[in-house]
């Protein structure tokens, strides 16, 4: 069976955060119901200013939502993307990192387009 091991039934490993209400995004930790699996196209961004400034991290993530997240809703033609966003990858989803942020709102549709990955 495809989902015989615990790891196959778990989504994500660490929580991500919502910059709009400064809260932890609650994720479905157990995927034993159904067989949907997906892959995110996360972007890691940082420099000395972003890594050291929590408010700057939040502003960077909100800006990424405007210029990347919102357009991705129109460009991502994968029929499972809406379901993925219900589980994880909501608007503003990110993880603070020592160097900056990991932006987690995007699906992986853009990774198959060489011009978009440069």
- Which residue segment(s) compose the domain that 42 sits in? 6-117
Residue 17 lies in a domain: yes
Per-residue tokens: 117: 């990955």
91 band by pLDDT with thresholds 50, 70 and 90: very high
Query: pLDDT, tens digit, for every residue of 6-16?
Result: 666 666 567 88
Residue 65 lies in a domain: yes
Question: pTM for the full model?
Answer: 0.79
**Nearest alpha-carbon partner for 19 in 50, 52, 59, 74:** 59
Range 31-35 contact pairs with CB under 8 angstroms and sequence separation of 24 or more: 31/3, 32/3, 35/2, 35/3
Query: pLDDT, tens digit, for every residue of 32-64?
Result: 666 666 677 889 999 888 888 999 999 999 999
- What is the pLDDT, as a whole number, of residue 55? 93
Instruction: Please report the sign of the dihedral spanned by the C-alpha atoms of residue 74, residue 69, residue 92, residue 21.
Output: negative
Pairing of strands 23-24, 17-18: antiparallel
Domain count, the chain: 1
């Amino acid at each position: 069976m495809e989902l015989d091991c615990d790891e196959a039934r778990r989504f994500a490993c660490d929580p991500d955060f919502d910059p709009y209400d400064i809260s932890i995004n609650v994720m479905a930790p157990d995927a034993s119901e159904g067989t949907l699996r997906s892959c995110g196209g996360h972007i890691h961004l940082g420099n000395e200013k972003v890594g050291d400034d929590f408010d700057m991290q939040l502003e960077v993530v909100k800006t990424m939502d405007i210029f990347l997240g919102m357009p991705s809703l129109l460009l991502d033609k994968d029929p499972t993307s809406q379901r993925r966003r219900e589980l994880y990858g909501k608007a503003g989803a990110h993880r603070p990192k020592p160097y900056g942020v990991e932006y987690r709102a995007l699906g992986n549709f853009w990774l198959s387009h060489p011009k978009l990955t440069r």
